[in-house]
């Protein structure tokens, strides 16, 4: 039973680690958004990919969800002494990832190859797949002008209202062979509870991805990142609102209409069940907030059973 | 009274810091060897320049002479986990220097400009001058074949007998304007107790440097890095021997014959005084081993007085 999960950062990483816990090693492929990748001091940084990697490797910082546990910041403090801006909190261990990756990519390896090397070295025995080996950059239109994603997300603390989104490079980028194979070879596809616009959105926007998803007859299930009208983490709620979407599990379901067969929503949103079923999706109502490893595994397990049950019917 | 010092790594850094302590701020220029610079994980590393910079900034590791005091190695340990070789002991704070430098140089700054920025940020108020903005690489011929300098020096622990030396790129490299100005504008020139072959040698081998030194009529004094027939640090003694030089203060004096007017030698080598004077140099015999800041300042002061005394005569 091969599972393919599409994920962004922290929320996606949590469900991916739950899936890892409940499927046999090697049966999970996680396709990760790379549209928020950026360069800092000439180092190539892939925030979502690293968040998922550190989480699957069991070394992520449980307080933040991103970064490495027990991290230190000696390099960053020294860079600050050299007069550099240090709004992006680059830890010493995390830096090794970027140094290694940047060097290998300059030497001709693809991001996919480098990611396999890094995640393998960290003991991750499932496939961690960047959505593309070509650069895509999320640029946000705001009242303050156009902002690069990390500028908006980290530097400015997501305080700007997002009026529009451009995925720069998306037309020229291609999903990797590995991504296409993971999607077309999956027995179930899970859209993790990540931001539908800037995390799952770029993966779906890659040329060919919607077509291969549409042509797949396996169960496709999305877990809502909106619970009780709010994003559990990050600016998804405000972003959905300012872009004209309804900020609810139903709103997310509408964005995935025609693509997924089932939505997993939280108990707090149970009253939205009928509305989502009205869009033509099946609905699983459960505890969807992942507070610990047990929550992750349970939600992953329930999500997979939900998908399997849809096939049986 | 402008002083120009030529220096390599640890020994040169110590005397340079002594000179810094005894001359008014801004009156010292230290020209540093860059022929052992190399790239590691795509980062540009300048071991001698950084040793001198950290020493002048008062943040060097007093145990080793190189690196930064109270350094940590979290990034390096993580790189090791990624399967990388970690024979070059890159500290977390030190790494900031290389990340900053590499990024700025890729953005078009010269090594000279970047070094001024770094040393200024660390509060160094004298000029720290890389010998050249063009790459020069020391390659050592050994029984094991040709070795890059850091390969020989760090990775293989200087265990190979050096049979020959190539300064790759030296013909095309040029001393910087700043280096030429520092030498020609100096009231005294000090060759620090650094390896005459691989530290001072590359500076002297740059096209034009010997000529400008020869045309200068100010006192030129060298402090012997060989004391009691041994190098205080590093492989200078074995290197001199295998390259056919006498391993003594006299041997060093012969290498600098016609270039410097005076040699500073250690008390233990007092019996070499007459021989060195026979080469045509004046000799200062003193305690030349620098164990602490007081030693450094005293040796610097004595060296400058020795030079000034030669002019008076």
Q: Which CATH number describes the domain made up of B3-57+126-135+171-312?
A: 3.40.50.10680
pLDDT for the residue A70:
96
Q: What integer is the mean pLDDT of B163-172?
A: 96
With residue B146 as reference, give the H or E element that holds it. strand B145-148
Contact A97 B103 (CB under 8 A): no
- B113 is written with which tokens? 């400009």
Q: Which of A78, A105, A109, A118 to probe the B interface (max B CBs under 10 A)?
A: A78
Q: How open is the CA angle A183-A62-A33, to the nearest 5 degrees?
A: 25
Nearest-Cα distance to chain A for B275, in Å, is: 49
Please tell me which residue of chain B has the smallest CA distance to A83.
B121
Nearest-Cα distance to chain B for A147, in Å, is: 22
Name the residue among B158, B162, B159 with its Cα closest to residue B146: B162
Contact A117 B83 (CB under 8 A): yes
Nearest-Cα distance to chain A for B65, in Å, is: 19
CA distance A52 to A62: 13
Q: What integer is the mean pLDDT of B74-78?
A: 98
Q: Given pLDDT bands bounded at 50, 70 and 90, which one contains residue A25?
A: very high
The pair phi, psi for residue A198, each rounded to 5°, is: -105, -5
**Residues of chain B found within 8 Å of residue A79, distances taken between Cβ atoms:** 96, 99-100
Q: What integer is the mean pLDDT of B94-115?
A: 98
- Taking CB atoms and an 8 Å cut-off, how many pairs form between chains A and B? 95
B112 SS3 class: helix
pLDDT for the residue A310:
86
Taking only the tens place, the pLDDT of each residue in B228-271 is: 999 988 899 999 999 999 999 999 999 999 999 999 999 999 99
Q: Which of A92, A103, A118, A123 to probe the B interface (max B CBs under 10 A)?
A: A92
Taking only the tens place, the pLDDT of each residue in A141-186 is: 999 999 999 889 888 999 999 999 999 999 999 999 999 999 999 9
Contact A92 B102 (CB under 8 A): no
Please tell me which residue of chain B has the smallest CA distance to A96.
B75
CA distance A270 to A247: 15
Residue B313 confidence (pLDDT) above 60: no
Q: What integer is the mean pLDDT of B109-128?
A: 98
What count of other Cβ atoms lies within 10 Å of the Cβ of residue A59? 18
What count of other Cβ atoms lies within 10 Å of the Cβ of residue B155? 13
Contact A118 B82 (CB under 8 A): yes
Q: What integer is the mean pLDDT of B84-102?
A: 96
Contact B96 A82 (CB under 8 A): yes
Give every CB contact of residue B143 below 8 A, 6+ residues apart in sequence: B160, B161, B163
Give every CB contact of residue B110 below 8 A, 6+ residues apart in sequence: B133, B176
Residue A5 confidence (pLDDT) above 70: yes
The fraction of chain B above a pLDDT of 70, given in percent, is: 99
Asked if B264 and B292 touch (Cβ cutoff 8 Å), the reply is no
pLDDT for the residue B219:
97
Asked if B13 and B56 touch (Cβ cutoff 8 Å), the reply is yes
**Residues of chain B found within 8 Å of residue A96, distances taken between Cβ atoms:** 74-79, 81-82
Name the residue among A71, A102, A87, A90 with its Cα closest to residue B103: A102
Q: What integer is the mean pLDDT of B10-39?
A: 97
Q: What integer is the mean pLDDT of B153-179?
A: 95
Q: What integer is the mean pLDDT of B277-281?
A: 96
Residue A312 confidence (pLDDT) above 90: no
Nearest to A74 among B78, B92, B99 (CB): B92
Give every CB contact of residue B272 below 8 A, 6+ residues apart in sequence: B248, B249, B250, B265, B283
In whole angstroms, what separates CA A55 from the centre of its chain? 12
Domain ranges within chain A, ordered by starting residue: 3-135+171-312, 137-168
The pair phi, psi for residue A284, each rounded to 5°, is: -110, 125
Residue A301 confidence (pLDDT) above 70: yes
Nearest-Cα distance to chain A for B6, in Å, is: 25
Residue B295 confidence (pLDDT) above 70: yes
Nearest to A106 among B42, B83, B93 (CB): B42
pLDDT for the residue B310:
86
- A12 is written with which tokens? 């996606």
Contact A103 B42 (CB under 8 A): yes
CA distance B113 to A294: 54
Residues of B with CB under 8 A from a CB of A: 41-43, 71-72, 74-79, 81-84, 91-93, 95-97, 99-100, 102-103, 106, 117-118, 121-122
Nearest to B100 among A41, A92, A122 (CB): A41
Question: Considering chain B, what is the average pLDDT of its residues?
Answer: 96
**DSSP code at position A248:** S
Nearest to B121 among A42, A81, A122 (CB): A81
**Residues of chain A found within 8 Å of residue B41, distances taken between Cβ atoms:** 99-100, 102-103
Question: Considering chain A, what is the average pLDDT of its residues?
Answer: 96
Asked if A123 and A20 touch (Cβ cutoff 8 Å), the reply is no
Asked if A46 and A102 touch (Cβ cutoff 8 Å), the reply is no
Q: What integer is the mean pLDDT of B86-104?
A: 96
Q: Does domain A3-135+171-312 have CATH number 1.20.1250.20?
A: no
Q: Given pLDDT bands bounded at 50, 70 and 90, which one contains residue A313?
A: very low
Q: Which of B57, B78, B79, B113 to probe the A interface (max A CBs under 10 A)?
A: B78
Contact A72 B76 (CB under 8 A): no
**DSSP code at position A155:** I
The fraction of chain B above a pLDDT of 90, given in percent, is: 94
Taking only the tens place, the pLDDT of each residue in A207-258 is: 999 999 999 999 999 999 999 999 988 899 999 999 999 999 999 999 999 9
Give every CB contact of residue B6 below 8 A, 6+ residues apart in sequence: B12, B30, B31, B189, B190, B191, B192, B194, B200, B203, B204
């Amino acid at each position: 039973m091969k599972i393919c999960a599409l994920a962004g950062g922290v929320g996606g990483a949590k469900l991916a680690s739950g899936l890892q816990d409940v499927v046999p090693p090697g049966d999970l492929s996680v396709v990760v958004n790379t549209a928020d990748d950026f360069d800092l001091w000439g180092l190539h940084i892939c925030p979502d990919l690293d968040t998922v990697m550190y989480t699957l490797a069991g070394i992520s910082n449980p307080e933040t969800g991103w970064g490495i546990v027990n991290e230190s910041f000696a390099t960053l403090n020294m860079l600050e002494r050299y007069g550099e801006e240090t709004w992006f909190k680059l830890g010493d261990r995390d830096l090794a990832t970027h140094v290694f990756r940047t060097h290998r990519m300059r030497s001709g390896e693809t991001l996919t190859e480098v990611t396999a090397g890094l995640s393998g070295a960290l003991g991750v025995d499932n496939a961690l797949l960047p959505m593309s080996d070509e650069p895509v950059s999320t640029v946000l239109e705001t009242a303050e002008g156009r902002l690069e994603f990390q500028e908006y997300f980290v530097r400015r603390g997501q305080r700007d209202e997002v009026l529009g989104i451009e995925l720069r490079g998306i037309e020229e980028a291609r999903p990797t062979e590995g991504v296409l194979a993971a999607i077309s070879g999956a027995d179930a596809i899970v859209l993790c509870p990540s931001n539908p616009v800037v995390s799952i959105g770029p993966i779906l926007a890659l040329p060919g991805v919607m077509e291969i998803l549409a042509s797949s007859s396996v169960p496709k299930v999305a877990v809502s990142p909106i619970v009780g009208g709010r994003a559990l983490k990050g600016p998804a709620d405000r972003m959905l609102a300012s872009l004209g979407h309804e900020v609810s599990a139903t709103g997310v379901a509408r964005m995935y209409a025609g693509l997924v067969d089932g939505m997993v929503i939280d108990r707090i949103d149970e009253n939205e069940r009928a509305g989502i079923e009205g869009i033509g999706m099946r609905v699983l109502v459960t505890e969807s907030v992942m507070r610990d490893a047990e929550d992750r595994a349970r939600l992953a397990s329930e999500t997979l059973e939900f998908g399997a049950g849809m096939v049986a019917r």
